[in-house]
């Protein structure tokens, strides 16, 4: 978990700000950078599942909303491996679609938005405000891409 003022917190959020900046200038490259992040986090999830599976249950201690705590403590406890593997597969599918173009990338950007909004309540475990910054990048890429398609 990246606590406030740690080097990891600043590095993660700095990278996210760079991606947001590039989403205005070079949306296609920013989408690819988002894809790389999704692949990286999928790999981290698998490593954590193998090496430190109890870490996922500890997420309930940092969640902002009570109903999220119930979801984590009830669902994860019963089917932790299945849930983490499903999330990891979803991350990989989003990454693959972000590397493509057209409708696949558009669908992936919407899925990425949902994903970032879903992890934002994890607070410092999600290096907040990183998910919100990346959500902004997704929205900018979506609007830029849509504007280019409408201009054709």
pLDDT digits (tens, 9 = 90+) for 100-138: 989 999 999 999 999 999 988 887 777 889 999 999 999
Instruction: Give the containing element (helix H, strand E) for 151.
Output: helix 130-151
Q: Which two tokens stand for residue 97?
A: 């679609």
Do residues 64 and 126 make contact, with C-beta atoms less than 8 angstroms apart? Answer: no
Place 149 in a pLDDT band, splitting at 50, 70 and 90.
low
pLDDT (0 to 100) of residue 141: 96
The answer to whether the pTM exceeds 0.85 is yes
Phi, psi for residue 11 in degrees, rounded to 5: -65, -45
Of the two residues 64 and 35, the one the predictor is more confident about is: 35
Q: Which residue has the higher pLDDT, 81 or 77?
A: 81
């Amino acid at each position: 978990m990246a606590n406030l003022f740690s080097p990891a917190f600043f590095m993660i959020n700095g990278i996210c700000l760079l991606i947001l900046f590039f989403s205005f200038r070079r949306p296609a490259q920013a989408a690819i950078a988002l894809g790389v992040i999704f692949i990286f986090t999928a790999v981290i999830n698998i490593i954590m599942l193998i090496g430190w599976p109890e870490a996922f249950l500890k997420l309930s201690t940092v969640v902002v909303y009570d109903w999220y705590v119930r979801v984590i403590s009830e669902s994860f406890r019963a089917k932790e491996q299945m849930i983490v593997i499903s999330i990891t597969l979803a991350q990989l599918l989003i990454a693959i679609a972000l590397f493509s173009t057209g409708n696949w990338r558009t669908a992936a950007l919407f899925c990425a938005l949902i994903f970032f909004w879903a992890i934002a309540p994890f607070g410092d475990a999600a290096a907040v405000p990183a998910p919100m910054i990346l959500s902004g990048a997704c929205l900018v890429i979506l609007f830029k891409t849509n504007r280019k398609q409408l201009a054709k």
